[in-house]
Structure 1
Amino acid sequence: MSTPDKPHPPQHSHPNSVQERLKALIRDFRHGAWQPTGLEHRLAEHLAQSAAGSGSLSAVSIRAAVWEGSMTAIHENGGRFITLLADLLPLVEKPDAAALHTAGLALDLIETVTQEAPHRQAAPPPGACPCPSMAGNHHSGIPPAPRTPHLREDSRRLRVDAARNHARLLDAAARIAQEHGLKHLTMEAVATAAGVGKGTVFRRFGDRTGLLQALLQHSEDTFQAAHLNGLDQADGRDKAIQQLRAFGVAAIRRYAEEMELQIAAEPSPDQRYRRAPRRSYHERVSVLLSLAAPEADAELFSHALLGYLEPALLRHLSDQCNLPLQRLEKGWLELVSRLTQEDTAPHDVA
């Protein structure tokens, strides 16, 4: 339902800023605090259908939605949805790894919205643009989205097929990188390994840089799904220590398997601690450490723990100092034990 809140002012389109606002909107949608109006729902359907073939949002579709819906949608729900789309546009036009992740979150929100029944379109508030070509849903320039179950199912099937093809291409790319190294990871090699035309790979990722970013993001999503889930505070100290130990060992093994990719994606020093994954890791380790060692400065010591897991350091220790992987893992376990003052010695790595 519409709220009387004033439209949000335009914000700088930094990936982290847009990502945090996306997460807030997703959370509000799930809790019912943000209920898309009929127009917002229809814009979301328009974007979802545009993304069905490729599995990703395009600048063209976002620009069309912003242009067609902004004059009316800016007055609905405080303008949060349409302003977010406008700020997402420059990230999609010139994507990096963080921007691609943000665009993926946006598509998740859009597809989730389209699965819900739309709410009735609220009337524009006094003073809204009276122009029929902009103010009315039926004259906004976007054709009414199909409502029949058959067309909805077709759209959903297309999105599923696109996601399946996307995963197959990334699996092929991961195998090539792991078996032959990044220098052999080309668009042609991925197309051959996946059994598709080279044009399909270019349409999906744009270029080799886009492929590398997507491959890194796929690895990141898999790792976060397995190791960054919330922890019930009632589980207590022992469970926190166990998960803290498992997090570090998993990170070390992951980096060992894809070290070349991780080093290639290493950000500049001034951006290293501002990246979304690093901030997510810090938040996770801080929560675990605050439960495992209540007297410690969890926020500060979490940075020290994560320093041990930096890909550049792990490469130096493994490749240049010739330290075996098992010793690096045991080093992490001992570091956790000393910091949390465990009564028992670190367990052997499973």
Structure 2
Amino acid sequence: MSTTPDELHPRAHSHLDSARELAALMRDFRHGTWQPTGLEHRLAELLAQSAAGTGSLTAVSVRTAIWEGSMAAIHENGGRFITLLADLLPQIEKPDAAALHTAGLALDLVETITQTAPHRQAAPPPRACPCPSKAGSAQNEGPPPRSPQPREGGRPLRVDAARNHARLLNAAAWIARERGLERLTMGAVATAAGVGKGTVFRRFGDRTGLLQALLQRSEDSFQAAHLSGSERADGRDGAIEQLRAFGVAAIRRYAAEMELHLAAEPSPDQRYLRGPRRRYHERVSILLGLAAPDADAELLSHALLGYLEPALLWHLSDQCNVPLQRLENGWLELVSRLVPKPQPHAT
């Protein structure tokens, strides 16, 4: 049996997609059809500064940029730049020759961005979300979600500020692990990190923002595995398999981090506006649209994601003693009922 190049290099398509998107973004930037916003410009500066000493991007620097911008940058220019960083992260973490080439292209892009002034523009409104009434109305959309890593007076985040950010998160993670989430307060983090309480509030906004930032590491891995790359799936069968895998992975992730997810749950007026939730909805809508072309994918995706709400999964697992395997099987059955196999044509 012969072996194809793709079998020898299973991540080749990932590198190729990222390289193409980098080239396209650089071309659009030079032609003026893509102009980085102030936030995107700040993330590029952060990456360029971290690469100044070694001449290359590292997983740590890319992850820091994602932490800094992911909650807000997803609304900048359609999230194109931050999504590219998320796609790049798993390649840099396990580099090969193709990944190093892609990382070099990414460094060329961020250095080119830093040589120009940031484009000042108003943030685009959140994407319209189907609601029972006044669908798409600006009155119902509400304000965009607040980033858990606030900007420092609009100035680029310095490298030392990025280190302080990581130190605060490490202190928070230690408190949560050793003392429990009920002891995780802004004051406790400030004391453990040796900074003033105001520094913690400026960095994360509030306790919910701090908890969401703690979740960002697993969020990065989850999004890289299930939301990254091109938005295409390999036909209807491929879309169904990706949809099944998405839900099972989400259930397992929530089960492993349930307490933290419940504590970080945003208020009802922000729950469906947060960057990760919006990306989940967009991805599930795309997959459901491919798997069931006649379905109202945008609306039914909310029903699918409702099954994955941490509060519901906690109720079923902890209060109803539903085993994890049954929860996973429930998701698979729900998908199969929404996307039944096509009936063969009568002869």
Give the conservation status (yes or no) of the 8 Å contact 1:289–1:298.
Answer: yes
1:98 is aligned to 2:145: yes
Change (3 A) 1:178 1:307: farther
**Where does structure 2 lack aligned partners over 5 or more consecutive residues?**
1-24, 51-63, 70-116, 126-142, 343-347
Q: How many residues align?
A: 230
Matches within 5 A, 1:1-350: 29=29, 32-34=32-34, 81-84=119-122, 98-100=145-147, 159=159, 162-163=161-162, 166-167=165-166, 169-174=168-173, 176-178=175-177, 180-186=179-185, 197-199=193-195, 203=199, 206=202, 209=207, 210-233=209-232, 235-342=234-341
Q: CA deviation at 1:248?
A: 0.9
Change (3 A) 1:234 1:35: closer
Letter matched to residue 98 of structure 1: P
Q: What does residue 13 of structure 2 align with?
A: none
Q: What does residue 151 of structure 1 align with?
A: none
**Where does structure 1 lack aligned partners over 5 or more consecutive residues?**
1-24, 58-78, 88-95, 112-154, 344-350
Change (3 A) 1:213 1:35: closer
Change (3 A) 1:223 1:97: farther
Q: CA deviation at 1:282?
A: 1.0
Change (3 A) 1:26 1:340: farther
Q: Give the match's secondary structure for 1:100.
A: coil
Give the conservation status (yes or no) of the 8 Å contact 2:171–2:193.
Answer: no
**Structure 2: how far apart are the matches of 1:27 and 1:171?**
39
Q: CA deviation at 1:257?
A: 2.4
**Structure 1: how far apart are the matches of 2:187 and 2:269?**
35
**Structure 1: how far apart are the matches of 2:257 and 2:276?**
16
Q: CA deviation at 1:271?
A: 3.7
Q: CA deviation at 1:242?
A: 1.8
Q: CA deviation at 1:32?
A: 3.8
Give the conservation status (yes or no) of the 8 Å contact 2:145–2:273.
Answer: no
**Structure 2: how far apart are the matches of 1:342 and 1:176?**
49
Q: CA deviation at 1:221?
A: 3.8
Q: Give the match's secondary structure for 2:321.
A: coil
Q: CA deviation at 1:289?
A: 0.9
- Give identity over the alignment, percent: 63
Q: Which TM-score applies when normalising by structure 1? A: 0.51
Q: CA deviation at 1:31?
A: 6.6
Q: CA deviation at 1:301?
A: 1.6
Give the conservation status (yes or no) of the 8 Å contact 1:97–1:217.
Answer: no
Q: Summarize deviations over 1:170-193 as a string: whole Å, max 9, x none.
A: 34533543564311324576578x
**Structure 1: how far apart are the matches of 2:27 and 2:311?**
35
Q: CA deviation at 1:332?
A: 1.0
Q: CA deviation at 1:28?
A: 5.9
Q: CA deviation at 1:321?
A: 0.4
Change (3 A) 1:233 1:224: closer
Give the conservation status (yes or no) of the 8 Å contact 1:100–1:214.
Answer: no
**RMSD across aligned positions (CA):** 4.6
Give the conservation status (yes or no) of the 8 Å contact 1:205–1:214.
Answer: no
Change (3 A) 1:314 1:97: farther
